[in-house]
Amino acid sequence: MARCLRGFATVLVAFGQVACLVTIDESRIPEDPPPIVPSSCDAFPGPTVDVRSHGAACDGVTDDSAAVQAAIDALKEGAILDVPCVAALGTQLTVDDKIGVAIRGTGGGFTALGGLDQMLHMSGCSDCAVCGLKLDGNAVAGGIRLDACTGTTVEGNIVTRPGPNSGITSELGVGEQFLGNTVQDGTGSFDDAARGIFIRTDGHAVVTENTIRNMTADAFVLYVSGLTATGNLVEGTIGSGMNVHPSPGPNGPWQMEDNTIRSADGGGVLFQLDEGEGPVTMSGLVFSGNTVEDNGAAGVVFQASVGLSDATFSDNRLRNNHDPGNQDVLGQLAIRGGTNITVENNEILGDYQGEKRSDRGIVLDAVSPISAVEIAGNLIDDHTASGVELVSSTGTIEGVTISGNTFERNGFAGVMIQDGNVVDVSLTRNCFFMNGATLVDLRSRGALPAPAEGSGCPR
């Protein structure tokens, strides 16, 4: 009987005929390539201009500043300047008062030859975009700076070795977006060090899916009246991971979700004002799904002059945020004032037995009044001092419900209440397991009875 070639199945059909059927090993079929996601620059209608058409040598050595500047100056509304090669810059590039133009890296970008302020400076532009550039500051130059631009998007750029200035800077912009950029390997000492992304605006800022690594100052510095910060990654910075300065007066919304802040020596996420400013109340903060871990000084901290109204902290993982000297400093979540605050379903994990010791989990430290707080459904584990601490520094704390939490292995106490300006506190259905004490209530009046060890825990 005739046989089929290897890789085909032999099937005998009527009248002695042979049919050969293909057999497919699905495990050997290559996966579909990931889809090409168009950048903001791809939406511009054109024409498209190659930077080399204006005489850029693009050898990474020759100073191409004049040629690239000529190409930028010639851009009309809708045009795209493509940069497929590495152009060396001895002079800062300027994009002034352009409307609807794009600068797009198609495998290329710019490298700094000398001490530039920024490699690319855009001023007064509207509805522009900078996408996909590879920028090497060579420890002497910042990357991209926007001044007083409107509706401009900075997307998918990679800034390496920025010098004393930030990798990406925006001053007084309106409606700008910073999407999917990477800033890494900052240089300089702390006083003149490189920050990752610096934004100062009277409005709302959008920073999404950016990556900041190995910076010598803060990763993000954000002077804003509202913020959408989602999916960002910070790893390794001498300063803080996110340093947020909320604007006074009406503000919000504040959406901070699915960010990872890790190994920032100056603390994870800090909400603060400059000296002499304040106070300010942040309205409608949603802080959810974030991982804040292994940061020095603190995890998520609100300075004394920053209060909260209608804030939710949910489904976060705060772990091993500590002081390098193992001193009692701020806690993994420290709130100094506000009302209508919910802290629920978070993992707040210390490292009592390890080297990176976290002293306290959740701290309500009433520098200004704190009221209507619900702490529910959290796992609070392994702190050297307390899992939850309520202390009235200069304000009062009133109306705190602590329910359905699990307190494990907190060295001093699961819950600690420090003084008499804390009133109307309830503890219900919490699980206390292997804490130094379940509750330490130092109030002379109205002290709560300490729950029994193991009470509220699953049997």
Q: What's the pLDDT at 6? A: 44
3-state SS of the chain: helix, strand, coil percent to 5? 5, 45, 50
Least confident piece of the model among 29-43, 69-83, 314-328, 337-351 = 29-43
Calculate the alpha carbon distances from 273 to 136, 139, 278 in Å.
32, 29, 7
Strand duo 197-200 + 220-224: pairing: parallel
Q: Which domain holds residue 171?
A: 41-217
Query: Which band of pLDDT confidence, cut at 50, 70 and 90, is reported for residue 275?
Result: confident
Q: What angle do CA 233, 240, 345 make, to 5 degrees?
A: 60
Q: Are 305 and 280 in contact (CB under 8 A)?
A: yes
- CATH for 122: 2.160.20.10
In a domain, 394, yes or no: no
Tens of pLDDT, residues 359-395 = 899 999 999 999 999 999 999 999 988 999 999 989 9
Least confident piece of the model among 10-19, 53-62, 74-83, 326-335 = 10-19
In a domain, 17, yes or no: no
Cα(309)–Cα(362) distance, integer angstroms? 18
In a domain, 29, yes or no: no
Query: Which band of pLDDT confidence, cut at 50, 70 and 90, is reported for residue 5?
Result: very low
In a domain, 305, yes or no: no
In a domain, 123, yes or no: yes
Query: Which band of pLDDT confidence, cut at 50, 70 and 90, is reported for residue 354?
Result: low
Tens of pLDDT, residues 194-213 = 899 999 999 999 999 999 99
Q: Indicate if the pLDDT at residue 25 is higher than 50.
A: no
In a domain, 196, yes or no: yes
Buried-exposed string 411-429: b where 16+ CB fall within 10 A, e elsewhere: bbbbbbbbeebbbebebee
DSSP 241-271: SEEEEEPSSS---EEEES-EEEEETT-SEEE
Q: What's the pLDDT at 208? A: 98
In a domain, 420, yes or no: no
- pTM (2 d.p.): 0.89
Tens of pLDDT, residues 406-453 = 999 999 999 999 888 999 999 999 999 999 999 999 988 888 999 988
Q: Indicate if the pLDDT at residue 41 is higher than 70.
A: yes
Strand duo 18-22 + 8-12: pairing: antiparallel
**Structure token digits, residue 129:** 């975009």
Q: What angle do CA 80, 86, 89 make, to 5 degrees?
A: 90
Residue 267: CB partners within 8 Å, gap ≥ 6?
240, 241, 295, 296, 297, 298, 299, 301, 321, 330
Tens of pLDDT, residues 44-68 = 999 999 999 999 999 999 999 999 9
**Structure token digits, residue 288:** 């959810």
Mean pLDDT confidence for 143-165: 95
Question: How many domains are there within the chain?
Answer: 1
In a domain, 112, yes or no: yes
